[in-house]
Structure 1
């Protein structure tokens, strides 16, 4: 009897030990499963957060063209690289509108071409021939500004006709006294940008209406050279965009132009397509290679930055800003390329 009692006791003890061991294993397994679930959840959250982080852009954006537009585009490029995308290099050249189109309208050409005049029919035909989709974007308004030497105290106010006669081959004006007998009996020295520049083409085509320029006009590639020449020549008079005058007011003075209702000073307030300085006001542009914008994210991103911020920097670089509704049209177009 005692043997059976001891046997039963040992059997019950063994069963108890087995049950306890099994319970411990279950708890550990459950804990392990919970830990695994937590890890998976955390991993999923990490993956989700990683996929939503914006990707930093890299690469280059290549721009050339107008020397007139250069200060505005260079300022935008500088701000973009500092505050927006440090990994993107925006290179801005100033070969001139026409020379720039030569670099733009080729296979693997520049991404943008800045221009101080509209694209010509033959340039658009070249784009079509190459299969390049071009988007014209107006970036600001500029006022063609005539500048004279700081010591010139007689020609600070001239009529539109006076200015045209000074630069026209058949204008009949070679000396200051030809305009007004009270002016000095001295030869007028004329200066301007050369044929690579849209400013020259705007002046020749829109202002002179394609009449020949005076044969003695001194045409230069670099605007800085024009500033220097006029600043050192008391009998000199030159022309270029308002921005170059603004940045060199310490060396030059602008001619106030009488269009028929009294002299008008070129300023950011008078330079407008319907303003007091309207006869000498022109839009300036950048032209985008749309195919490049579709292929290279940094090009599209920079184009959007220009459209969204150009009015912020127009005034400080010597340009009148565009109406916001006009700018928004470019933003909408570019957003549609995403």
Structure 2
């Protein structure tokens, strides 16, 4: 009896399982399949997200003070929205000083630059066994600024800018440019030799004529802004972004390149724009060996090129054409 009762119970249990399976072979099967599909997609998505979120460590960047606001903005977004476990450290020693740090054993991962890398810097990289990868980021317009109370020098010709800042330009006072202007000594200020902006100004605008030895050259751009803002007779130069973020303190000079005065703006400093003579590309240089060795460096390089046009305008740079961005992305992707 006990055995028979046991067998009956087992049979009933088996039948219940079979019925449940058969009863669920319609919509339930479809739901299960859809569920598996969703779970698979979500699982794969989660897996990729987890793999990306596993990135950690640091990305070390130095260099151009001009490029700093753009790169700092990208780094902030990356750490908040992409890789919170990665620390992106952005400094601003200046282009040339930054290259010195970049081009040494255990140097920085990236160097921001407001001028192209020089032959001697490439030679140093070759000695160290790597070839820097140039990443063109955006376009900047070198901007001549004056004190807001200066209502006479709001427009200058390209040649007048050269005359003001060169040692042999013969310009000491505003009246040396125009006899109707104040007979007041001009306070000339600009970034020092650590900065690519200085080199661009010296090489491309002054055409390698000696800079006035009395010019007040400074390391910090904030100091330059203050010097112009506090002196009615001051004139200075730096990237458009610093002017754009300090419009309440300084005023931009419109430059006449031969076809009438042109005010620097995101539109005029665009590629082939009317401000082209004072326009330059800005870069960051990547050590590709670091990108191959450290996943976070490669990931950040990709993020920079994917996102740079989203933040260029708000930090005072004209964006690059999308085809240029895509071509550079392909080069970075090929590193891994």
TM-score, normalized by length of structure 2? 0.87
1:254-283 deviations in Å (ceiling 9; x for gaps)? 000000110000000000331100000000
SS of residue paired to 2:269 = coil
Aligned to 1:193: 191
Query: Secondary structure of the residue that 1:282 maps to in structure 2?
Result: strand
Equivalent residue for 1:211, pick from 209, 215, 221: 209
The alpha-carbon deviation at position 107 of structure 1 amounts to: 1.3
The equivalent of 2:243 in structure 1 is 245
Partner of 1:65: 63
Query: Could you tell me whether the CA contact under 8 Å between 2:122 and 2:131 is conserved in 1?
Result: no
Q: Which runs of 4+ in 1 moved over 6 A?
A: 18-23
Mapping 1:22-171, distance limit 5 Å? 54-55=50-51, 56=53, 57-171=55-169
Over residues 206-245 of structure 1, what are the superposed CA-to-partner deviations in whole Å (9 max), with x where a residue is unaligned? 1111110111100000000000001111110000000000
SS at match of 1:54: helix
Offset at residue 22 of structure 1 (A): 12
User: Pick from 268, 271, 275: which aligns with 1:270?
Assistant: 268
* Equivalent-residue separation in structure 1 for 2:314 and 2:130 (angstroms): 33
Partner of 1:180: 178
Query: Structure 1's 151 and 181: CA in aligned 2 closer, same or farther, altered over 3 A?
Result: same
- In 2, Cα distance between equivalents of 1:279 and 1:334: 30
Change (3 A) 1:22 1:295: farther
Shift of 1:333: 1.2
In 1: Cα distance, 2:126 partner to 2:69 partner? 30
Residues 279-325 of structure 1: per-residue CA shift (max 9 Å, x gap):
00000000001111111111111111110010110000000000110
TM-score (norm 1): 0.87
Cα 1:215/1:18, change in 2 over 3 Å: same
Q: Which runs of 5+ in 2 are unaligned?
A: 18-35
Distance 2:175 2:48 in 1: 72
Shift of residue 337, structure 1, vs aligned partner:
2.2
Residue aligned with 1:249, SS: coil
Q: How does 1:307-322 map to 2 (within 5 A)?
A: 307-322=305-320
Give the distance between the partners of 2:161 and 2:243, measured in 1 at CA. 17
Secondary structure of the residue that 1:285 maps to in structure 2? strand
Q: Where does residue 283 of structure 2 map in the other structure?
A: 285
RMSD of aligned residue pairs (Cα, Å): 2.5
